[in-house]
């Protein structure tokens, strides 16, 4: 059985006010992959996610989602998205955890339908998967940053997406919760065959769980299996990024740094 490509970037470039943010990017993510997207600040990671999410249109090239042109793609409910914490939400917003998670069903329900018949059950299940079911009636603004982030993951999971995109989801979360968080997403990938694309700086923590790595700095410098990435030399990495970067520690090697 060949795996279906869920995301294909074909020679994609993006310019913002005459500056090249992304330069001829080609990248494929197949069903079941767990890809970590690495790159320094300003390397275009967030722009790339926005192109995939349809928030931006490429200057040239083509974005394909589930084998369809992204412009015509009409199954956004197949893609779950968790943005960087507190990016776009107003923490004084008067809503309960339940209301926030239920809002993740907005696309799968379709226009004019007010509620899924088993909505309460779906919301509780999504909250259970992130260990937040006891917070269902709490106000979203009362929660800590890490708890809010788990609620937003539940919002992404409630519609049972096939692909989950996470943009630096652990920024502002303390170390122990970061571990627990990656255990959770690894579980979703392994047990529920959810395809994952993760933008992160937590290379060390996540390395044992991912299957693929892509390194981005305006253009894709490396894309392949994690094991090949581990075997890259430090010089190669520095050359691509123009700066020194942490390598993934494989268990065979002594930790560098």
Partner 1 sequence: MISSIFQYEFLQNAFLAGIIIGFIAPLLGVFIVVRRLSLIADALSHVTLAGIAGSLYLSQSFIGLATLNPLYLGIVAAVGGSVLIERLRRLYKHFEELAIPIIMSAGLGMSAIFISLAQGFSTDLFSYLFGSVSAVSRQDLYIVIGIAVIVTAFIYLLYKELFVLSFDDEYAQASGLPTKVVHTLFMLITALVIAASMRIVGILLVSSLITLPVAAAIRMAKSFKQTILYSIIFGELAVIVGLVSAFYLNLAPGGTIVVTSIIILLIVLISKKIILAVRAR
Q: In the complex, which residues of this chain contact partner 1 (CB under 8 A)?
A: 53-55, 74, 76-77, 79, 81, 83, 87-90, 92-96, 98-100, 102-103, 105-107, 109, 111-112, 114, 137, 139, 155
Comparison of 102 and 196: residue with beta carbon closer to partner 1 = 102
Identity of the residue, 45 or 221, whose beta carbon is nearer to partner 1 in the bound complex: 45
* Closest approach of partner 1 to the CB of residue 175, in Å: 27
**Residue with smaller CB distance to partner 1, 106 or 203:** 106
Q: Which is nearer to partner 1, 103 or 244 (CB)?
A: 103
For the bound state, the minimum distance from the C-beta of residue 90 to partner 1, rounded and expressed in Å, comes to 7
Q: How far is the CB of 168 from partner 1 (least distance, A)?
A: 14
C-beta of 95 vs 190, nearer to partner 1: 95
Strand 163-167, strand 79-82: pairing: parallel
Q: What is the DSSP string of the chain?
A: -PPPEEEEEEEEEEEETTEEEEEEEEEEEETT-EEEEE--TTSSHHHHHHHHHTSS--SEEEEEETTEETTT---GGGEEEE-STTSS--TT---BHHHHHHGGGHHHH-TT----TTHHHHHHHHHHHTT-GGGTTSBGGGS-HHHHHHHHHHHHHTT--SEEEEESTTTT--HHHHHHHHHHHHHHHHHS--EEEEE-S-HHHHTTT-SEEEEEESEEEEEEEHHHHHTS-HHHHHHHHTS--PPP--TTSPPP-
Looking at the Cβ atoms of 24 and 107, the one nearer to partner 1 is 107
CB 15 to partner 1: min, Å: 17
Nearest-approach distance from CB 123 to partner 1, in angstroms: 13
22 forms beta bridges with 14
Smallest distance from partner 1 to CB 88, Å = 4
Q: State the nearest-atom distance from the C-beta of 79 to partner 1, in Å.
A: 8
> Closest Cα to residue 192, out of 248, 132, 120, 125?
125
Residue 109 or 124 having the CB closest to partner 1: 109
């Amino acid at each position: 059985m060949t795996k279906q490509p869920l995301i294909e970037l074909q020679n994609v470039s993006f310019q913002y006010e005459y500056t090249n943010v992304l330069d001829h990017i080609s990248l494929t993510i197949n069903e079941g992959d767990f890809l970590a997207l690495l790159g320094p600040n300003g390397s275009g990671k967030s722009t790339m996610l926005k192109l995939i999410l349809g928030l931006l249109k490429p200057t040239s090239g083509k974005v394909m989602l589930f084998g369809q042109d992204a412009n015509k793609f009409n199954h956004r409910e197949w893609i779950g998205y968790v943005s960087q914490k507190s990016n776009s939400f107003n923490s004084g917003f008067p809503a309960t955890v339940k209301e926030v998670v239920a809002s993740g069903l907005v696309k799968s329900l379709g226009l004019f339908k007010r509620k899924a018949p088993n909505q309460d059950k779906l919301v509780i299940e999504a909250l259970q998967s992130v260990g937040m079911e006891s917070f269902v009636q709490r106000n979203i603004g009362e929660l800590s940053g890490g708890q809010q982030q788990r609620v937003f993951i539940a919002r992404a999971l409630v519609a049972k997406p096939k692909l989950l995109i996470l943009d630096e989801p652990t920024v502002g979360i303390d170390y122990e919760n970061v571990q627990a968080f990656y255990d959770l997403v690894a579980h979703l990938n392994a047990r529920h065959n959810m395809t994952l694309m993760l933008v992160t700086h937590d290379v060390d923590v996540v390395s044992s769980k991912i299957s693929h790595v892509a390194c981005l700095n305006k253009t894709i410098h490396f894309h392949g299996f994690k094991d090949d990435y581990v075997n890259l030399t430090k010089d190669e990495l520095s050359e691509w990024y123009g700066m020194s970067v942490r390598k993934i520690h494989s268990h065979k090697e002594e930790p560098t740094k």
